[in-house]
Amino acid sequence: MKHYDYLIVGAGLFGATFAYEAGEKGKSCLVIDRRDHIAGNVYTKEEDGINVHVYGAHIFHTSDKKIWQYINQFAEFNNYINSPIAVYKDELYNLPFNMNTFSKMWNIRTPQEAKDIIASQIAELNITEPQNLEEQALSLAGRDVYEKLVKGYTEKQWGRDCKELPSFIIKRLPLRFTYDNNYFNDRFQGIPMGGYTQIVEKMLEHADVVCGVDFFDMRDEKNRLTGQLPDGTQVSYDKILFTGQIDEYYDYKFGPLEYRSVRFETEKLDMENYQGNAVVNYTDREVPYTRIIEHKHFEFGKQPTTIISREYSSEWKPGIEPYYPINDEKNNELFAKYRELADQEKNVIFGGRLGNYKYYDMDKVIAAALETVKEELD
């Protein structure tokens, strides 16, 4: 039987960061993933010289200098700035909502003109206590911005009418009164030249890695610190770092947590440039997809062909890949029950988006993993 200090379930950023740091401290790690590749949702694969973001657009951004320096040890980043475009019917707008957006929408030039129009639209509606997401968005941005850029996109994302969605989903709508299309406010931003998979490969250099393995198939039900790999190898470990779904780990004892999921239709096109931008959102309800990603623009590609992915938001059910935790009151209460069980574990650590039932940007995933390393190994 082969023995490891840690079994790490999930080869995404959280698991890989932990594996790298544990390896640097002399710990042995076995990393498994039920998918047939490493890197989780940040997985990129090269096709025709283009690094395809297989599970959707991933732009690394952070204001934490230490995290920026940390990730840069594994790859060189370019100077990509995320500047999405929104298409509403036959109209095209810059995102995030800024003076370029307002200038196009109302044929104006100055910040004061934009502020006056938005304020007058909000005043006309006279919404004092928003009862749903629609009223919340209207009370923050007025009718034009809501109708053209928020309503349809949000309804596609959540699969229901904005009047049926709770107001807390949108706590604020950032309205920028400058001509600035940079989506993020963070100090550091970019895409790794050559894609994200190389980063995770380097992070896992100290570990043994086996893909295409389901933890629930390999584990020994009587002794959860032992298991058998598909090739018959018997393995044991002192601790488990689990980055899968916490509710699945506990056999859905209190019922399943809810998620939103996304699916992608990816297509190679025999043309040099399809849409002229990496990310284009489609904000009217009638277009079935939420956005189209043209992957070459993440790295300023000049290839003769291009690859696009249409992104569709979808309801989640067990068996479908979960993406976004739905952190409403009902699900948070359910998660608290699972968290209580997790806190009693002596040999199992939960981490990542699914293990902690929490949406993380990439920099926050790495920061959380490093914090876990500190608690566990320092």
* Nearest one of 93, 102, 88, 99 to 142, comparing CA atoms: 102
Place of tokens 């100077």: 79
3-state SS, residue 14? helix
The rounded radius of gyration (Å) of the Cα atoms in the chain is 23
What does the pLDDT read at residue 172? 86
Beta strands 226-228 and 324-325: pairing type?
unpaired
For 228-289, give the DSSP string: E-TTS-EEEEEEEEE-S-HHHHTTTTT-PPPEEEEEEEEEEESSS-SSSSSEEEE-STTSSS
For the stretch 336-377, pLDDT in tens is 999 999 999 999 999 999 999 999 999 999 999 999 999 999
Q: Which residue among 180, 186, 361, 376 is the active-site one? A: 361
Please say if 143 is a catalytic residue.
no
Please say if 285 is a catalytic residue.
no
Q: Which residue among 291, 299, 338, 360 is the active-site one? A: 291
Q: What percent of the chain has pLDDT over 70?
A: 100
Averaged pLDDT of the chain: 97
Q: Calculate mean pLDDT across residues 104-131.
A: 97
Q: Which residue among 219, 224, 260, 263 is the active-site one? A: 260
Q: Which residue among 311, 323, 357, 363 is the active-site one? A: 311
Q: Calculate mean pLDDT across residues 276-282.
A: 98
355: left (phi over 0), alpha (psi -120 to 50) or beta: alpha
For the stretch 230-252, pLDDT in tens is 999 999 999 999 999 999 999 99
For the stretch 170-179, pLDDT in tens is 988 999 999 9
Domains of the chain: 2-77+190-258+325-377 (3.40.50.720), 97-169 (no CATH)
Q: Which residue among 238, 267, 359, 371 is the active-site one? A: 359
What does the pLDDT read at residue 266? 98
**According to DSSP H, which parts of the chain are helical?**
13-24, 65-72, 99-106, 111-125, 133-141, 143-145, 151-158, 197-203, 215-218, 246-249, 329-343, 352-355, 362-377
For the stretch 60-88, pLDDT in tens is 999 999 999 999 999 999 999 999 999 99
* Nearest one of 204, 199, 196, 197 to 8, comparing CA atoms: 204
Please say if 311 is a catalytic residue.
yes
What does the pLDDT read at residue 171? 86
What does the pLDDT read at residue 218? 96
For the stretch 288-315, pLDDT in tens is 999 999 999 999 999 999 999 999 999 8
What does the pLDDT read at residue 234? 97
What does the pLDDT read at residue 328? 84
What does the pLDDT read at residue 56? 96
Q: How far apart are the first and last CA of the chain?
A: 28
Please say if 359 is a catalytic residue.
yes
Is pLDDT larger for residue 166 or for residue 309?
309
264: pLDDT strictly greater than 90: yes
* Nearest one of 310, 322, 81, 108 to 180, comparing CA atoms: 81
Largest Cα span, the chain: 72
Q: Which residue among 33, 176, 237, 338 is the active-site one? A: 176
Confidence tier at 207 by pLDDT (50, 70, 90): very high
Q: Calculate mean pLDDT across residues 278-292.
A: 98
Structure tokens at 84: 């999405």
What does the pLDDT read at residue 366? 98
* Nearest one of 51, 79, 43, 80 to 303, comparing CA atoms: 51
Please say if 35 is a catalytic residue.
no
Q: Which residue among 172, 270, 329, 343 is the active-site one? A: 172
318: pLDDT strictly greater than 90: no
* Nearest one of 378, 246, 349 to 15, comparing CA atoms: 349
For the stretch 38-52, pLDDT in tens is 999 999 999 999 999
317: pLDDT strictly greater than 90: no
Q: Calculate mean pLDDT across residues 119-139.
A: 97
Question: What contacts 26, CB < 8 A, 6 or more positions away?
Answer: none
